[in-house]
Amino acid sequence: MNLEKTPKKKAPCKTHKIQSFMPVSPILAEKIKKEKRLNECDLHKLKIYSEGQTFNYIVDSDFLNSFMNQKSSEGNVFYDRDKKNKLLNDRLLVQQIVSQMEWVCVECFNDLVNSNEEV
């Protein structure tokens, strides 16, 4: 899975030492902590446009659907505020989404997406 433009930060991982961490939905974070295999077709990319940049997040379908019910436009894309034009767009939803995300090791994530057997 392409994780380009996904927000990342460095942090210590129990398995991989110092690694990049990325935010994912709480259910995915829990599966990663329990080392459960992740099926790539159950993963969804959520895009947030903010101040001229695009940020991609990996979420599960339930998490995505919980926010899509509140939004009627273009699928799994949200627009953060536009300071220049003084528009809030989806600002409140974006804040809610990002606040619920949990940081996980990118290597742990990749290991569980690419594994062929149940752990």
Residue 3 is assigned to a structural domain of this protein: no
Which 8-state DSSP code applies to residue 112? H
In this model, does residue 117 exceed pLDDT 60? no
53: in domain: yes
In a domain, 119, yes or no: no
Q: 88-103: per-residue pLDDT in tens?
A: 888 888 999 999 999 9
Give a yes or no: residue 34 inside a domain: yes
Give the tokens for residue 107. Answer: 């290597």
CA nearest to 22, candidates 49, 42, 39, 46: 46
Give 38: exposed, middle or buried? Use CB within 10 Å, 0-12, 13-18, 19+: buried
Q: Which domain holds residue 67?
A: 9-114
Inside any domain, residue 1 = no
Helices (H), 7-101: 26-33, 61-68, 91-100
Report the number of distinct structural domains present in the chain. Answer: 1
The answer to whether the pTM exceeds 0.85 is no
Domain membership of residue 79 (yes or no) is: yes
* pLDDT digits 0-9 by tens, 25-84: 999 999 999 988 888 778 888 899 988 889 999 999 888 888 776 554 456 888 888 888
